Structure 1
Amino acid sequence: MIKGNLAGRMGRMGRMAGDSGPERVLVAASFANRVGNGLFNAASALYFTLVVGLPAAQVGAALTVAGVIGLFAGVPGGHLADRRGARPVMMAALAVQAVSMAALVLVESWAALTVVATVDQIAAGAGGAAWGALVVRVGGERPAVFRAKLRTFVNLGVVLGTVGAGLALAADTRGAYVVLILGNAASFALCAVLLLLLPRYPVLEAPPRRRRWPVVADRPFLAFTALYGAMGLQYPVVSLLLPIWISGHTEAPRWTVAALFAVNSLFCVLMQTGIGSRIESLHDGGLAFRTAGLLFLVSCPMMALAAYTPVWAAAGLVLAAVFVHSLGEVWESSAAFALGFGLAPDHAQGQYQGVFGLGFSAGQALAPAILTTVVLGLGATGWLLLAVLFAALGAVGPSLARWGARTRPQPAVAAEATG
Structure 2
Amino acid sequence: MESGLPVFVLRQLALPHWTVGALFAANTVLLTLLQLPVGRALDRFRPGAILALGGLGYLMLYVCAVLARSLSSAVAVAVLMAGMTVYTLGELAVSQPSLILLTGLPPEPERGSYLAVNQLLVGAATALAPLLATSLPGTRSPALWWTLAALSVVAALLTHRVGRPTEPEAAGKHGDGSPSTAGQP
Q: Tell me whether the two structures share a fold, i.e. TM-score over 0.5.
A: yes
Aligned to 1:388: 150
Larger Rg: 1
- Aligned equivalents of 1:259 and 1:328: distance in 2? 19
- Aligned equivalents of 2:23 and 2:167: distance in 1? 38
**What percentage of residue pairs aligned between the two structures are identical?**
27
Q: Residues 378 and 292 of structure 1: is their aligned pair in 2 closer, same or farther, counting only changes over 3 Å? A: farther
Q: Residues 350 and 382 of structure 1: is their aligned pair in 2 closer, same or farther, counting only changes over 3 Å? A: closer
Superposed CA deviations along residues 38-94 of structure 1, whole A, max 9, x for unmatched, are xxxxxxxxxxxxxxxxxxxxxxxxxxxxxxxxxxxxxxxxxxxxxxxxxxxxxxxxx
Report the TM-score when normalising by structure 2.
Answer: 0.78
Determine whether 1:343 maps to 2:105.
yes
Structure of higher RCO (CA pairs closer than 8 Å, 6+ residues apart): 2
Q: Residues 251 and 356 of structure 1: is their aligned pair in 2 closer, same or farther, counting only changes over 3 Å? A: closer
Aligned to 2:29: 266
Instruction: Give the counterpart letter for 2:92 in structure 1.
Output: V
What is the deviation of 1:248?
1.0
What is the deviation of 1:301?
1.3
1:2-401 → structure 2 map (5 Å cutoff):
237=1, 239-280=2-43, 284-346=46-108, 349-374=111-136, 376-377=138-139, 379-401=141-163
Structural RMSD (CA): 3.0
- Aligned equivalents of 1:256 and 1:323: distance in 2? 14
- Aligned equivalents of 1:406 and 1:337: distance in 2? 26
> CA contact under 8 A between 1:301 and 1:383: conserved in structure 2?
yes
What is the deviation of 1:263?
0.8
Instruction: Give the counterpart letter for 1:370 in structure 2.
Output: L
Superposed CA deviations along residues 153-175 of structure 1, whole A, max 9, x for unmatched, are xxxxxxxxxxxxxxxxxxxxxxx
> CA contact under 8 A between 1:293 and 1:392: conserved in structure 2?
no
Report the TM-score when normalising by structure 1.
Answer: 0.37
What is the deviation of 1:378?
5.9
> CA contact under 8 A between 1:306 and 1:314: conserved in structure 2?
yes
Instruction: Give the counterpart letter for 1:270 in structure 2.
Output: L
Q: Residues 362 and 306 of structure 1: is their aligned pair in 2 closer, same or farther, counting only changes over 3 Å? A: same
Name structure 1 gaps, 5 residues minimum: 1-236
> CA contact under 8 A between 1:376 and 1:382: conserved in structure 2?
no
Q: Residues 290 and 406 of structure 1: is their aligned pair in 2 closer, same or farther, counting only changes over 3 Å? A: farther
Superposed CA deviations along residues 86-119 of structure 1, whole A, max 9, x for unmatched, are xxxxxxxxxxxxxxxxxxxxxxxxxxxxxxxxxx
Aligned to 1:187: none
- Aligned equivalents of 1:273 and 1:406: distance in 2? 34
Aligned to 1:147: none
Instruction: Give the counterpart letter for 1:256 in structure 2.
Output: T
What is the deviation of 1:261?
1.3
- Aligned equivalents of 1:340 and 1:364: distance in 2? 19
Instruction: Give the counterpart letter for 2:57 in structure 1.
Output: L
Superposed CA deviations along residues 218-260 of structure 1, whole A, max 9, x for unmatched, are xxxxxxxxxxxxxxxxxxx1x2111111111214221111111
Report the secondary structure of 2:16's partner residue.
coil
